Every structure is written in C-alpha cells, then in structure tokens.
Amino acid sequence: MKSIVILISGRGSNMEAIVRAAIPGARIAAVISNRPNAGGLAFAAAHGIATAVVDHTTYTDRAAFDAALAGAIDSHTPDLVVLAGFMRVLTADFVRHYEGRLINIHPSLLPSFTGLHTHRRALAAGVRVHGTTVHFVTAELDCGPIIIQAVVPVMAGDTEETLTARVLAQEHRIFPQAVCWIVEERVRIEGNMARVAGARESGVMISPPPEDV
C-alpha cells in the first residue's frame, strides 16, 4: 500500500478527484493546506482523511515554512507527495528532499505558459490548443519530467472562465491516472523525461473528442 500526502491551498477539486478515484494500492494518509480556510479540508475530513494546516503567514521566511511543511508531511511517511492546487513556490531544498516522489498538476501544456494566469495568457497568445500537465517537481519551476498531458481545443468565443472549466475537467481525468501509474510503479524518470511502462506514447496524451468540449 502506497501512502500519499496531498497538499492544497483552496477547494481542492483535484484532491477530490484523486480521493474519489479510490486508486487500488493507494492510501491517502493526509491532506495538508497552507491556508486554514481551504475548502478542501472539510471534504478530506468528511472522508476520514487526516488534515493539517501549516499556515505560511506565520513563518518569517520561505525556508522556515518549508521546514515546517516537510515535518508535517514526513510524519505520515509518504511514498508520494501530490501538489493539488498548492499555491506556494517551494524551495530547492524542499524539492530535493522529495525528489522523484513529488508531483504537480499545471494548467497548461508545458513547457508553454509556466507560472500563473495560464488560461488568460493562452487566449492572448492565440493558441489553437491548450491543456494541462502532470509532472514531477524539480527546483526549476514547472520544468520537471512530464507524466501525462491532456489537450483541449481553444474554441471561438472562449473566455478565461470557459477555457478554465474545460481544462479543469481534464485535470480531474489525468491526475488520478498519473497517481495510479505511480502507485503501480509503472513510471520511471530518464533524465528530464518520464516513461510509463505499458502506455503507448499516443496514450499518454489525452485529447477529448468534440462532444466533450
């Protein structure tokens, strides 16, 4: 049984998707937030999952916060740490501590549109497709080995809100899939690439059919 700790900052819809997936061989040991009012904490508690808050505003610097956060995580001895809408940039020391077992979901087709406001920037750039990426976390922001991506078309008349909603629906599909592959020990890192045993390259990128958009 693989022990998983999920970090959130808000309502935690991606955390919910992972919990609801009930992945065989996985146990959600805890959900931890940097915000005391994060809506996802109530969902986790209602599902019998341990919760904790490490409030970043009570720490003098990022290193002190990261040390406290690592202590809270390590108390659950996780095999995998999942960033599910965790809105804090982590220090290089923190990332190294969880090297190879720390994953994140980013709302763009990396390496395009790293950082914030990805949907707004995609619309401004006039791209024809957009999407989301699950990747291993490295010290360089949004640059770790890619596990899986989902592509959505950018439609005529799209707004930031409509594009956000369509991408989020795909996040809820691919994040549990990535966690499942890792729990099944099918993912290996080769340099800056993540290889999934038994998955065709065409199967690692999910493009929804027109009726889904």
Whether pLDDT at 208 is above 80: no
Same domain, 126 and 77: no
Sign of CA dihedral 164, 138, 114, 202: negative
Same domain, 121 and 143: yes
**3-state class (DSSP) for residue 48:** coil
Give the pairing of strands 129-136 and 102-106: antiparallel
CATH number, domain with residue 201: 3.40.50.170
Using the 3D structure, point to which of 98, 122, 148 is the last residue of a domain: 98
Give residue for tokens 């890619």: 146
Give residue for tokens 């955390």: 15
**Considering the entire predicted model, what is its pTM?**
0.94
Q: What is the pLDDT of residues 79-123, one digit of tens each?
A: 999 999 999 999 999 999 999 999 999 999 999 999 999 999 999
Backbone angles phi, psi at 102, to 5 degrees: -130, 120
Q: What is the pLDDT of residues 125-155, one digit of tens each?
A: 999 999 999 999 999 999 999 999 999 999 9
Q: Give the domain range for residue 65.
A: 1-98
- Could you list the active site residues? 106
Q: Which string of b and e fits 53-65 if b means at least 16 CB within 10 Å? A: ebebeebeeeeeb
Same domain, 45 and 127: no
Average pLDDT over residues 11-17: 98
Same domain, 145 and 200: yes
Same domain, 94 and 140: no
**Cα–Cα distance measured from residue 23 to residue 177, given in angstroms and rounded to the nearest whole number:** 9
**Cα–Cα distance measured from residue 211 to residue 197, given in angstroms and rounded to the nearest whole number:** 30
pLDDT at 198: 82
Domains contained in the chain, number? 2
What average pLDDT does the chain have?
94
Same domain, 163 and 78: no
